[in-house]
Amino acid sequence: MSSVSAYYNGKNVLITGATGFMGKVLVEKLLRSSPEVKAVYILVRPKAGQSMQERVANMLKCKVFDRVREDCPNFHEKIKPINAELCQPKLAISAEDEEELLTRVNIVFHCAATVRFDEPLKHALQLNTMGTQRLLELARQMQNLEAFIHISTAYANCIRKSIDEIIYPPPAEPKKLFDLVEWLDESIIQDITPKLLGEWPNTYTYSKALSEYVIQQEKGNLNIAIIRPSIVGASWHEPFPGWIDSFNGTSGILIAAGKGILRTVIANNEAVADMIPVDITVNLTLAAGWYTAVHRPKNILVYNCTTGGINPFFWGEMRQYAISTFKRNPLEKAFRTPGAQITSSYLINQYWVYLTDKAWAILYDLYMRLTGRKPRMMKIVKRLHKSMMLLQYFSTQSWNWSSDNMNMLMSHLNTEDKKVYNFDVRQLHWSEYIESYCLGAKKYLLNEDMSGIPAAKQHLRNQRNIRYAFNITLFVIIWRIFIARSQMARNIWYFVVSLCYKFLSYFRASSTLRH
Ligand SMILES: CCCCCCCCCCCCCCCC(=O)SCCNC(=O)CCNC(=O)[C@H](O)C(C)(C)COP(=O)(O)OP(=O)(O)OC[C@H]1O[C@@H](n2cnc3c(N)ncnc32)[C@H](O)[C@@H]1OP(=O)(O)O
Ligand SMILES: NC(=O)C1=CN([C@@H]2O[C@H](COP(=O)(O)OP(=O)(O)OC[C@H]3O[C@@H](n4cnc5c(N)ncnc54)[C@H](OP(=O)(O)O)[C@@H]3O)[C@@H](O)[C@H]2O)C=CC1
């Protein structure tokens, strides 16, 4: 029997960010591997005109729950949604709900965050840092709390090249920053953001670094662990290989390369692509929850949840495996043949952006306009390049993360735990994983059926023929215009034609002589 599964049976678990990519996988795994868990409280806010109840009902219809739906058809009865907003005082939880949480919850998993790199500093701090502080305050009052698990990011300390499993000094004193963003005008905060960020590349990593420090400062008597995943990708095995529902991180770029929209990616072929499958992250998180609650380590344990130091994999390899998968299994209605160059040079990138991506987008949009449809390709290309500009910090450098705590945790698992909560990244076979990632993106993110592959291949062949025909026509037109206007071009043209003629005559004569 798995000790980790047994531990969660009978427990009340609180999860924030359950509607997100990682949160859903966490809820699913918890319910499937510990079917006797008493209740899973999830903090959910109303959003985009949908009430909290509607959002939860939609969430439970998600494909990610198909497996647990089959194993335990009444799994939804265990889920107890709580209306909450992390940016509001006291998390905007009603007094009645608060009372229930304070008396019942045994373990907290804090996943909620904004992961946008361009989030205004005020909002990133209000949600990622102050939201964590508020949750911590609630947790300190919980009467039966055994563990508090905070999901951070391996890049919270990305200004360092070697990152240990410790909490580093913060970029600034959080209290002072909170006061500042409270009373300063939003536009002034925007203006001074680059100065405040200093070496940090974005407000996301900055606010996450501050959250870790806030946890250290305000932990009180809580048993806390911090999980730091690197770039979370599609699932490796669970609940299905390749499950993904987010365009963040590498997913959007992979799809854009697969669709032939993006011809150039800013990355370094030799830099480590520190990908970590979402199910590995979730397995480690649940195992760390068990360890923290049962073994109660004296200090906060930080788990760097990364692959680079143990089973390294590089962006160049990722490109190769992804393009090969998309050539064999094309995406539907691809714009061009799958393919993307990797370059770390800004100038080379700009050259390709203008020469291929933007030029083709303009032509495509013109075609859409002429056929009475809405042009959209330029907008997509611009968004992708904006996203690439924000991601390049992570795709052109490598970091060294120590993983002693991950190894220590593995050594405490029994044989069954190691099977059910596998987070041994040495077992990852990267070419297989990337293939399943790309196919998962096709199936779960783009909702494409695998039976459409022959049609997608035919579409690519048609696209290629149109491109050839277009290139030839363009060449002939340009050349004709050039010849008509310039004596020199005419002279070159006649010279090339006569040279070709002479060569042909020479070969014909020499072959006649040989016979
Ligand atoms: C083959 C070669 C491989 C090499 C490949 C190298 C890749 C190198 C990756 C390094 C990766 C490091 C990752 C660090 C790991 C973390 O610790 S953090 C977690 C990851 N966080 C992120 O990735 C957040 C980055 N994203 C952002 O900051 C914002 O989405 C952006 C990029 C600024 C775009 O902002 P925006 O223009 O306002 O657009 P946004 O509102 O976000 O999205 C609008 C729509 O476009 C969709 N969308 C957004 N981005 C995309 C996209 N890229 N594609 C398609 N659709 C998209 C959204 O889903 C959304 O759809 P709807 O909801 O409207 O249906
Ligand atoms: N994805 C990645 O590559 C990595 C992620 N991480 C960390 O993992 C965690 C989960 O990330 P991921 O699942 O990818 O992110 P998602 O963006 O998919 O999910 C974020 C979750 O936070 C919730 N949330 C956002 N704002 C609020 C709010 N104001 N009040 C309540 N809930 C809110 C969202 O709810 P709603 O549906 O209402 O928006 C959603 O459930 C984060 O802490 C992130 O920093 C770390 C490393 C890499």
Count of CB atoms situated within 10 Å of the CB of 48: 5
How far is Cα 416 from Cα 424, in angstroms, rounded to an integer? Answer: 14
Nearest C-alpha to atom 15 of ligand 2 is from which residue?
A: 20
Is residue 330 reached through a cis peptide bond, with omega within 30 degrees of 0 on the bond before it? Answer: no
**Helix, coil or strand: residue 450:** helix
Q: Is 153 in the pocket of ligand 1 (CB under 6 A)?
A: yes
387 Cα nearest atom in ligand 1: 32
Angle ∠(399,114,190) on CA atoms, nearest 5: 90
Classify residue 35 as exposed, middle or buried by CB count within 10 Å of its CB (0-12, 13-18, 19+).
Answer: middle
Cα of 56 to ligand 1 centre, how many Å? 24
- Judged by DSSP in three states, 47 sits in strand
Q: Does 460 sit in the ligand 1 pocket, CB within 6 Å?
A: no
CA of 115 to the centre of ligand 2 (A): 6
Does the Cβ of 109 fall within 6 Å of ligand 1? no
Find out whether 423 and 280 touch, Cβ atoms under 8 Å.
Answer: yes
Does any ligand 1 atom lie closer than 6 A to the CB of residue 252? yes
DSSP states along 202-241:
SHHHHHHHHHHHHHHHH-TT--EEEEEESEEES-SSSSST
Token pair listed for 237 = 């095995």
d(CA 417, CA 3): 7
- pLDDT, residue 514, reads 67
Spatial separation of the C-alpha atoms in residues 443 and 325, rounded to whole Å: 14
pLDDT in tens, 398-432: 999 999 999 999 999 999 999 999 999 999 999 99
- On the CB side of 167, CA atoms within 13 Å amount to 22
Which residues are near ligand 2 (CB < 6 Å)? 17-23, 43, 45, 47, 84-87, 111-115, 127, 151, 153, 229, 231-232, 246, 248-249
Quick one: which of 132, 467, 446, 149 has its CA closest to 286? 149
Nearest ligand 1 atom to the CA of 231 is 15
What distance in Å separates the CA atoms of residue 158 and residue 150, rounded to the nearest whole number? 18
Q: Nearest-CA neighbor of 421 among 122, 24, 39, 33?
A: 33
For 51-107, the three-class secondary structure string (H helix, E strand, C coil) is: CHHHHHHHHHHCHHHHHHHHHCCCHHHHEEEEECCCCCHHHHCCHHHHHHHHHHCCE
Of all atoms in ligand 1, which is nearest to the CA of residue 383? 37
Q: What is the DSSP letter of 330?
A: P
Q: How far apart are CA 22 and CA 111, in angstroms?
A: 8
| Pick from 405, 407, 408: nearest CA to 303 | 405
Ligand in nearest proximity to the CA of 47:
2
Ligand nearest to the CA of 271: 1
Q: Which atom of ligand 1 approaches the CA of 249 most closely?
A: 23
Note the pLDDT of residue 513. Answer: 64
Minimal CA–CA distance to 208: which of 170, 177, 178, 251? Answer: 170
Q: What is the pLDDT along the chain (515 residues), one digit of tens a residue?
A: 899 999 999 999 999 999 999 999 999 999 999 999 999 999 999 998 999 999 999 999 999 999 999 998 899 999 999 999 999 999 999 999 999 999 999 999 999 999 999 999 999 999 999 999 999 999 999 999 999 999 999 999 999 999 999 999 999 999 999 999 888 999 999 999 999 999 999 999 999 999 999 999 999 999 999 999 999 999 999 999 999 999 998 999 999 999 999 888 999 999 999 999 999 999 999 999 999 999 999 999 999 999 999 999 999 999 999 999 999 999 999 988 898 889 988 888 888 888 888 888 898 899 899 999 999 899 999 999 899 999 999 999 999 999 999 999 999 999 999 999 999 999 999 999 999 999 999 999 999 999 999 999 999 898 888 888 888 888 888 887 877 788 888 888 888 888 888 888 887 777 776 66
Distance 20 CA to ligand 2 centre (A): 5
d(CA 86, CA 129): 10
- Identify whether the C-beta of residue 151 lies closer than 8 Å to the C-beta of residue 224: no
Phi first, then psi, for residue 118 (nearest 5°) are -105, 20
In terms of Cα–Cα distance, which of 245, 322, 315 is closest to 278?
245
| Residue with CA nearest ligand 1 atom 54 | 252
The CA–CA distances, whole Å, from 334 to 11, 253, 326, 457, 461 equal 48, 14, 10, 9, 10
Angle between helix axes 95-104 and 130-140 (nearest 10 degrees) is: 60
Contact between 292 and 147 under an 8 Å Cβ cutoff? The reply is yes
- Residue 225: the pLDDT is 98
Write the ipTM.
0.92
Minimum CA distance residue for ligand 2 atom 11: 22
